[in-house]
Amino acid sequence: MTANGTSSSTGTFTATPGPTDTLGLYPNPLQGSGNPTLQIYFSQPHDYVSVKVFTTAFRKVYDDRVDYVPAGTFTYSIASARFKGGESIANGLYYVLVTTPSDRWLKKLLILR
C-alpha cells in the first residue's frame, strides 16, 4: 500500500483451460431429428469412455461404455433409439456425463423437437 492508503500492486488473471474445454457436444440445442454427438480430444489413450445421460431429476436414461479409446479425436453419437425403455429422447434439458479413468466432464444438452 502507498502512503495514501491505495494499493499500488496490480494482478493479472490468465484463464487456464480445464478439462471441460476439451469436450464438444453438438448440435446443442438439438432441434428436429438426429442424434447429439460428443467430440473429445484425448492426448493419451484411455481404457474406457463412459457416456451417461440424466434428466434434470437425475434419472439415468442412457448408459454406454466404449472400451479402449486411442489418443486423438474421439467422436461418439448418442443414439436416441438406445434410451431406456426404447423411447427416443424427449424435449427437455438433460445432463451428459462423460468419464474416463482419469477425467470427468458434465455438459447440459437441450432437446427441442
Give the domain ranges of the chain. Answer: 24-112
| pLDDT over 70 (residue 10) | no
Higher model confidence: residue 34 or residue 88? 34
Check residue 3 and give its pLDDT.
56
Distance CA 103, CA 96 (A): 14
Distance CA 36, CA 29 (A): 9
Distance CA 83, CA 53 (A): 9
| CATH number among 3.90.1170.50, 2.60.40.3080, 3.30.1130.10, 3.30.870.10, domain 24-112 | 2.60.40.3080
Which H/E stretch holds residue 49? strand 46-55
Here the cell at position 75 is: 467422436
Higher model confidence: residue 86 or residue 71? 71
Check residue 38 and give its pLDDT.
95
Residue 21: band (very low, low, confident or very high) from pLDDT cuts 50, 70, 90: very low
Average pLDDT, the chain: 83
When pLDDT is averaged across residues 20-39 and rounded to a whole number, the result is: 86
In contact, 87 and 16? CB cutoff 8 Å: no
Distance CA 85, CA 101 (A): 28
Here the cell at position 93 is: 434439458
